[in-house]
Structure 1
């Protein structure tokens, strides 16, 4: 279920929200315990596809893994932060990052259509660039114990 510009309630359930700078709800997805999603985009210099993948883990947004097709500017594995494994196609995954995201939210300046920031969830791609290119948004895992 995708909600654009309106609030939808899942009583007692967690949800992933994308909010504009003025707190307008752009996207809202049910996100039960254990559910996974990714933020995917095209690297602004090389155009390669990059992914950061998260999961809902006991009420926390946790960065689980990251996919990087090469070592482009600003990309790469940091020793001690997960483990790097080949993706079998010339790129690599950084697995087992398992870092909780502070406050279950982070700010993102959404890229242009060329960068095309998009959420991947249950086989769907939701383009944040189509909704808010050039704007700052907050990506927030809202849980029942989170204040509105």
Structure 2
């Protein structure tokens, strides 16, 4: 079933890009990761070519440990690729049939191979306070980090993978 969903998404995206005169391959290469506040302020605008990866990182508000939701640009589609949790705290955990849970070797776990497309290549996040410190990180770029909480605590932001 998953290959059918991917095919449908690819066909839909191909049609959208064709209308704009852009091929899916060129669009996937030149995609951008953006985070925009409710007021329209751009908090993040970074190149996100096909295959690039980034994570949203935050401190769990009750247990105060770091949680990661990691995404990738998979051919122009934002996908939730994997998630890391050091505990089965409130609101966290593995859902059977959604990825594969594996130990991180330190008492926590990764849920790998989630590979779920994010609807419309975007989602809205209510940014937590500095105690939560919602951040965008790029693990492949020596853990480059942009704190969303520093600039938009308590606000809704839109995280989006955009075509040129």
User: In the alignment, which of 149, 152, 158 is matched to residue 129 of structure 1?
Assistant: 149
Partner of residue 94, structure 2? 77
What TM-score do the two structures reach when normalised by structure 2?
0.79
| Unpaired stretches in structure 1, ≥5 consecutive residues | 1-10
Q: Deviations over 1:98-135 (max 9, x none)?
A: 00000000000000000000011122111000010010
User: In the alignment, which of 38, 41, 63 is matched to residue 55 of structure 2?
Assistant: 38
Partner of residue 117, structure 1? 134
User: In the alignment, which of 53, 56, 65 is matched to residue 70 of structure 2?
Assistant: 53
| Unpaired stretches in structure 2, ≥5 consecutive residues | 1-25
User: How far apart are the structure 2 equivalents of 1:26 and 1:74?
Assistant: 27
Aligned residues: 134
Where 1:97 maps in the other structure, the secondary structure is coil
User: In the alignment, which of 81, 99, 112 is matched to residue 95 of structure 1?
Assistant: 112
Q: Deviations over 1:17-52 (max 9, x none)?
A: 000113221111110010000000000111110000
Is it true that 1:142 corresponds to 2:124 in the alignment? no
Q: Which structure has the larger Rg over C-alpha atoms?
A: 2
User: How far apart are the structure 2 equivalents of 1:141 and 1:104?
Assistant: 5
What TM-score do the two structures reach when normalised by structure 1?
0.88
Select the structure that is richer in strand: 1
Q: Deviations over 1:58-86 (max 9, x none)?
A: 11000000000000000000000001000
